[in-house]
Amino acid sequence: MPEITDSKILMIEDNKQHRFMYDFQFKQLGYNNFKAVATAQEGIDTVKKEHPDVVLLDLILEGTLDLDGLEVLKKIKGDPETAKIPVIILSNKRERDMAEEVKRLGAADYILKAKFLPREIVERVHQFLSNQTS
């Protein structure tokens, strides 16, 4: 049986520093299959090609001219090939309506980045993956 740390994790995040920071944090926990991409289209293409075990999706993809996080979520969940891949939304939007909207669209979780340290978010994702395999 594969180890939980063998899970493929894809992050779609426009902020380069955040991508680097999460890469470091996941590696600290022993994850070697973490990949981060900067744009919505790269993310959609990577999800289709690599079928990760979980997608971490920034809701606001500033600096990308293609799609925002909601559109990416809709595309992933609307494609029968990728619909079952869990998507965890990472955002600083505190609106309760947004959390409800992304859950309605099929997101597995909604995490406020400002409320947690990156290490705590990584541990939460680790716990999510542990629950998926048990």
Indicate the domain borders of the chain: 4-128
pTM: 0.93
Q: What angle do CA 82, 24, 87 make, to 5 degrees?
A: 20
Rg over alpha carbons for the chain, rounded to the nearest Å, is 14
The vertex-96 CA angle with 90 and 101, nearest 5°, equals: 70
Cα 15–chain centre separation: 14
Residue 57 sits at φ, ψ, to 5 deg, of -120, 120
Tell me which residue has tokens 């493929």: 8
CB atoms within 10 A of CB 45: 12
pLDDT tens string, the chain, 134 residues long: the values are: 578 899 999 999 999 999 999 999 999 999 999 999 999 999 999 999 999 999 999 998 876 556 789 999 999 999 999 999 999 999 987 777 888 999 999 999 999 988 999 999 999 999 999 998 76
- Per CATH, which fold does 4-128 belong to? Rossmann fold (3.40.50)
